[in-house]
């Protein structure tokens, strides 16, 4: 399973990539694998506020509904709209084409508290045990 080194991760299985003052947010390879075929996604709108640790949307697989939790606080400045017609993109390419939202960071320091790739891997190993 793939966990790029340049990303930050949460224990809720979201990732976050710093891009200037923005954070790009999506779900991890592990998350998409666990969910199975993703068939529906519900995302916020541009201008909405998201808060670290709080739900900002949902993804649904054939069988189940899962909430998405924001790794950061700030204003949504871009949404990956094509996902609503092609949610399977999240399964196919979770870190690039499958990104979900871009957030203008209220506090860039929040990223410090997130896991790096090694920390996330370790967390997954512990979670399995």
Partner 1 sequence: MPQRTPLYDVHVRAGARMVEFAGWEMPVQYEGILAEHAAVRERVGLFDVSHMGEVVFRGGRALEALQRLFTNDLARCADGQAQYGCLCREGGGIVDDVVVYRRSGEDLLVCVNAGNRQKDYDWLQGHASGAQVANESDLFAQLALQGPRAAELLQKLTSLRLPSIGTYRFTQGEVAGVESLVARTGYTGEDGFELFAASERAPGLWAALLEEGRALGIAPCGLGARDSLRLEMAYRLYGSDMDDESTPLEAGLAWVVKLDKGEFVGREALVRQKSAGLSRKLVGFVLTEPGIPRHGYAVLQDGKPVGTVTSGTKSPSLGTSIGLAYVPPALAAEGSTFAVDIRGRAVAAKVVKTPFYARKK
Q: For residue 84, state whether it binds partner 1 (rule: CB under 8 A).
A: yes
State which of residues 19, 21, 46, 65 lies at the interface with partner 1 (CB under 8 A).
65
Q: For residue 60, state whether it binds partner 1 (rule: CB under 8 A).
A: yes
Stretch that binds partner 1, among 11-19, 55-63, 99-107, 112-120 (CB under 8 A): 55-63
Applying CB under 8 A, the site for partner 1 has a residue count of: 12
How many CB atoms are located within 10 Å of the residue 6 CB?
10
In order of 29, 51, 117, the CA distances from 1 in angstroms are: 7, 28, 12
User: Rounded to whole angstroms, how far apart are CA atoms 69 and 53?
Assistant: 5
CA-CA-CA-CA torsion sign (92, 95, 96, 100):
positive
What part of residues 89-128 is at the interface with partner 1 (CB under 8 A)? none
What part of residues 22-51 is at the interface with partner 1 (CB under 8 A)? 36-37, 39-40, 42
Tokens representing residue 110 in the block: 């929040």
Tokens representing residue 95 in the block: 């870190």
**Closer CB to partner 1, residue 6 or residue 33?**
33
Binding site for partner 1 (CB under 8 A): 36-37, 39-40, 42, 58, 60-63, 65, 84
């Amino acid at each position: 399973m793939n966990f790029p080194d340049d990303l930050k991760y949460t224990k809720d299985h979201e990732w976050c990539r710093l891009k200037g003052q923005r954070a790009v947010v999506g779900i991890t390879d592990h998350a998409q694998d666990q969910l199975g075929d993703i068939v529906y996604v519900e995302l916020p709108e541009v201008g909405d506020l998201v808060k670290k640790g709080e739900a900002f949307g949902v993804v649904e697989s054939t069988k189940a509904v899962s909430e998405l939790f924001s790794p950061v606080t700030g204003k949504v400045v871009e949404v990956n709209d094509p996902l609503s017609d092609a949610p399977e993109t999240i399964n196919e390419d979770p870190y690039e084409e499958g990104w979900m939202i871009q957030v203008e960071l209220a506090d860039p320091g929040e990223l410090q508290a997130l896991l790096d790739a090694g920390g996330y891997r370790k967390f997954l190993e512990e979670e399995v045990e």
